[in-house]
Amino acid sequence: MAGRADRAEPRTVLEHLLNQQDSTYDEVAAEFTRLAAVLNERATITPRHMRRLAAGERANCTPVTRRVLHAMFGRTLDELLRPWSAANELTNVTVGQPITTVTAQEEMLKVATNRARQFALLTGQMTLNSETLEQLYDDTRYLCAAYPQRPLADVLGDMVGTQDTIFALLETRQRPNDARQLYFLAGVTSGLLAKASHDMGNPHSALTQARTAFLCADHADHNGLRSWIRGLQALITYWDNRYLESVKYAQQGSGYASASASATNVWLPVSEARAWAALGNANKARQAIELAEDAWGQVGQDDLDDLGGVCTFSRARQLYYSADALAWLPSEAAAAEQYSARAVEAYDDPTRPEWAFGDQAGSHADLAVARIARGELEGAAEAIAPVLELPAEKKIRGIVASTKHVQAALIRTDQTQVARELQEQIEVFNRTPISALPQ
């Protein structure tokens, strides 16, 4: 069994964690190698090296080994090699489960945010070959597709690592065409991390990442990317209840969208519709929804949309956003129910490329709000039921806010037993959002 064989007091935090594992040092080393492959890191470790680290006899590791150990235990190497004290109050960690605690996720987002800020100030020199650039495109494409379909913990480490690699290349001297492509990818990965920070409930870090992403879009001179970043900023501020700012960002992006053929031509006006509706302006919300529908004629081929996933905008998302806007407006309850029902149907098949668990949950929440407005509380409970079954690692900022919108609608109704029970279920659901998972 890994850890101290004589079961005496652990010498390091790492040894304490290993004492909790029903594994040998050979098995732990093998798990390290497997995890390194998953993280796309070229690293191995011998059982003897792991044993010496745990005993506090070794303190030096390569950067790649440090990264894999961090992912493996959710703590930096410095923390792992600290002398163990029974007063440390550490929780159990399962070897091989990378970055699963909220503390580790928040720390990674903090590091990434600082890295984004530092990037604008640094320069250097490094060469780039076509194979590396192709790999970075593949990595970014994978992250764009995986993000809306998988828990954040599954992809966060890869997002941070990919952004760091691209920034490191850009801090060196590159050929102009290579630099433009790297800036494009840097803008996309920074946008993904802006969304990640938002999902974790940190709008400040989210907007910091978004500003760096927009800087990259300017260097890449890519209007589709510029408009996509403005769309992210509109999304972040919308869920942070800063609706006028959300309108501003959506409108600022419209000119860039018009100069491109990307699906942001649809995303931006329907994002503006949500913010106007939250402000109570039904006329402007309706106009923006109609503008979004008409904008499909401007959508063509754009390399941003070619990345897929979170980087493009589908008709299913348009239905959801329209439902989300109309759900704010009591006078539009019938239309909100029509749009949300269509959105729920559009997101019913998780095998479709455009499927996203967050948008699916939001569609169900909007259908519940629309049914509450029509006095159909049983139907509302049926609509919201799949959302309330989501595990804590999927309770991102937007989903929690959507359930609170349902709760607010319930409060305005007669407090029947069904209404009270549904409110209690939502309260229980919201006690453990992703930003409050137990460590």
User: Is the pLDDT score of 417 beyond 90?
Assistant: no
pLDDT band at 437 (very low <50, low <70, confident <90, very high): very low
User: Is the pLDDT score of 435 beyond 70?
Assistant: no
Alpha carbons 19 and 9: distance in angstroms, whole number: 10
Q: Tell whether 34 and 116 lie within a shared domain.
A: no
Q: What pLDDT was estimated at residue 6?
A: 54
Question: Exposed, middle or buried, 202 (CB in 10 Å: 0-12/13-18/19+)?
Answer: buried
Give mean pLDDT, residues 401-407.
Answer: 94
Q: Considering the domain boundaries, does residue 27 fall inside one?
A: yes
Q: Tell whether 137 and 73 lie within a shared domain.
A: no
Q: What pLDDT was estimated at residue 106?
A: 64
Q: Considering the domain boundaries, does residue 7 fall inside one?
A: no
Q: Considering the domain boundaries, does residue 289 fall inside one?
A: no
pLDDT band at 19 (very low <50, low <70, confident <90, very high): confident
Q: Tell whether 147 and 54 lie within a shared domain.
A: no
Bigger pLDDT: 239 or 109? 239
Q: Tell whether 140 and 33 lie within a shared domain.
A: no
In Å, how far from its chain's centre is CA 253?
21
Q: Tell whether 323 and 438 lie within a shared domain.
A: yes
Per-residue tokens: 353: 């490329």
Per-residue tokens: 401: 């806010």
| Residue 83 β-bridge partners | 12
Q: Tell whether 129 and 213 lie within a shared domain.
A: yes
Q: Tell whether 107 and 188 lie within a shared domain.
A: yes
pLDDT band at 404 (very low <50, low <70, confident <90, very high): very high
Alpha carbons 106 and 90: distance in angstroms, whole number: 17
CB atoms within 10 A of CB 272: 30
Of 221, 238, 258, which residue sits at a domain end? 221
Q: Considering the domain boundaries, does residue 275 fall inside one?
A: no
Q: Tell whether 69 and 128 lie within a shared domain.
A: no
Number of domains in the chain: 3
Q: Considering the domain boundaries, does residue 353 fall inside one?
A: yes
Give the range of the structural domain holding residue 406, as residue numbers without chain letter: 314-439
Residue carrying structure tokens 């509109």: 234
Of 57, 83, 109, which residue sits at a domain end? 83
Name which of 10-14, 96-100, 210-214 the model is least confident about.
96-100
Alpha carbons 4 and 6: distance in angstroms, whole number: 6
Q: Tell whether 325 and 430 lie within a shared domain.
A: yes
Cβ(269)–Cβ(288) below 8 Å: yes
Percent of the chain at pLDDT > 70 equals 87
Bigger pLDDT: 34 or 252? 252
User: Is the pLDDT score of 388 beyond 50?
Assistant: yes
User: Is the pLDDT score of 122 beyond 50?
Assistant: no
For residue 77, which phi and psi values (nearest 5 degrees)?
-60, -40
Q: Decide: helix, strand or coil at residue 414.
A: coil
Q: Considering the domain boundaries, does residue 125 fall inside one?
A: yes
pLDDT band at 96 (very low <50, low <70, confident <90, very high): very low
Q: What pLDDT was estimated at residue 259?
A: 94
Q: Tell whether 144 and 46 lie within a shared domain.
A: no
pLDDT band at 123 (very low <50, low <70, confident <90, very high): very low
Q: Considering the domain boundaries, does residue 157 fall inside one?
A: yes
Mean pLDDT for all residues in the chain: 86
pLDDT band at 1 (very low <50, low <70, confident <90, very high): low
Q: Considering the domain boundaries, does residue 242 fall inside one?
A: no
Q: What is the pTM of this model?
A: 0.72
Q: Tell whether 337 and 398 lie within a shared domain.
A: yes
Q: What pLDDT was estimated at residue 432?
A: 75
CB atoms within 10 A of CB 327: 31
Radius of gyration of the chain (CA): 24
Bigger pLDDT: 20 or 364? 364
Q: Tell whether 71 and 183 lie within a shared domain.
A: no
User: Is the pLDDT score of 48 beyond 80?
Assistant: yes
Of 196, 221, 246, which residue sits at a domain end? 221
